[in-house]
Amino acid sequence: MIKKLLVTGASGFLGWNVCRAASRKYSVIGVRNNHDADLPGVTFVKCDLTQYTSLKALFQTTRPDAVIHCAAISSPNTCQQHTSEAYKVNVTLSSSIAGLCSERDIPLVFTSSDMVFDGTEAPYDEGGIVCPVNVYGQQKVAAELEMQVRHEQLAICRLPLMYGDVPACATSFIQPWIKQIRAGEKISLFKDEIRTVVSASDAAAGLIIALERARGIIHLGGKERVSRYDFGLKLIDAMGLSSEVAAPISQKDIKMSAPRPADVSLNSSKAFSIGYSPGLIKEELLKLNCIKG
């Protein structure tokens, strides 16, 4: 039985949401590094996980029964610009955690991404051919492969673009949009970037289900396939504003360090069959504190 759950990346957007959800059921130890975080019922520990001796000592002192690994360099542009630094976190650290979980014989959930795909053959199920178009996606593929070799009790959860409430030191893609909208600015959103977007609280519930019931690769997408522009219209509607606040643009209109796949929608039937049940975007948006005035 899982009692003590170690969550890495606990000061980040998703890890914080995982800690919040898991603390209803488990004794949760959240690992942070540069940023502080706070949640009732969660014990936070500071550790630079890329220092192997510190990582090993963390496992020895906390003696977890299970791990959900959310720590990462999660910005594709940062990975593109600082490839070797990102590799240490996204690949080497993930592999080390798989090794330590194997030594303790405990289950591990890894947070991978829909960006392992090139975006030309969506929707993708778990058997889809991986072919990343940017360094971030390449590092997720490398981590998936290394971790699978080192540990059998592993669920690799491929996540889509996520939105939600955040801790003070983290963000999701909607916080800058909300800030701009509230400042009276118009937001320009991609019409040709399609994702099966999901709320972080639904994704967190999915990660916990995967921890308890899944092994191997599992997709945790949302139920709707939307462009960023269409998602933006739902957000603006949930904020009670007019759709004129958003303007549709195309990926080619903005130059970014990391190329981005056009449509990496996930087919998440496997997860749906074991109890993962994300809500509809409009309903999930209305639950968020960040959109309330």
Ligand X SMILES: NC(=O)c1ccc[n+]([C@@H]2O[C@H](COP(=O)([O-])OP(=O)(O)OC[C@H]3O[C@@H](n4cnc5c(N)ncnc54)[C@H](OP(=O)(O)O)[C@@H]3O)[C@@H](O)[C@H]2O)c1
Nearest CB to ligand X, comparing residues 12 and 232: 12
CB 8 → ligand X: shortest distance, Å? 6
Residue whose CB is less far from ligand X, 16 or 242: 16
Rounded Cα distance between 173 and 285, Å, is: 13
Please, what is the minimum distance in Å from the beta carbon of residue 184 to ligand X? 26
CB nearer to ligand X: give 88 or 243: 88
Distance CA 218, CA 201 (A): 17
Nearest residue (beta carbon) to ligand X: 12
- Cα dihedral across residues 48, 51, 56, 61: positive or negative: negative
Q: How far is the CB of 47 from ligand X (least distance, A)?
A: 6
Q: Which is nearer to ligand X, 50 or 251 (CB)?
A: 50
Q: How far apart are CA 137 and CA 148, in angstroms?
A: 17
Residues lying near ligand X in the complex (CB under 6 A) are found at 9-15, 32-35, 47-50, 70-72, 74, 89, 111, 113, 159, 161-162, 170
Give the phi and the psi of residue 87 in degrees, each rounded to 5. -60, -40
Q: Other C-beta atoms within 10 Å of 237: how many? A: 14
3-state secondary structure of 205: helix
State in angstroms the smallest separation of the CB of 159 from ligand X: 4
Instruction: Tell me the CB-side half-sphere exposure of residue 196, using CA atoms within 13 A.
Output: 27
Enter the DSSP assignment of 120: S
Nearer to ligand X, 37 or 246 (CB): 37
Q: Considering beta carbons, is residue 10 or 100 the nearer one to ligand X?
A: 10
* 261: preceding bond cis by omega (within 30 degrees): no
Question: Which residue's CB is nearer to ligand X, number 5 or number 184?
Answer: 5
Tell me how far, at minimum, the Cβ of 109 lies from ligand X, in Å: 11
The pairing of beta strand 42-46 with beta strand 4-8: unpaired
3-state secondary structure of 271: helix
278 phi-psi bin (left φ>0, alpha ψ -120 to 50, beta other): beta
Least Å distance, CB 171 to ligand X, is 7
- Least distance in angstroms from the C-beta of 190 to ligand X: 15
Q: How far apart are the first and last CA of the chain?
A: 42
Q: Shortest Cβ distance from residue 143 to ligand X (Å)?
A: 9
Kindly give, in sequence order, each residue whose CB lies less than 8 Å from that of residue 38, ignoring residues fewer than 6 positions away: 44, 167
Identity of the residue, 23 or 113, whose beta carbon is nearer to ligand X in the bound complex: 113
Cα 130 to its chain centre, rounded Å, is: 18
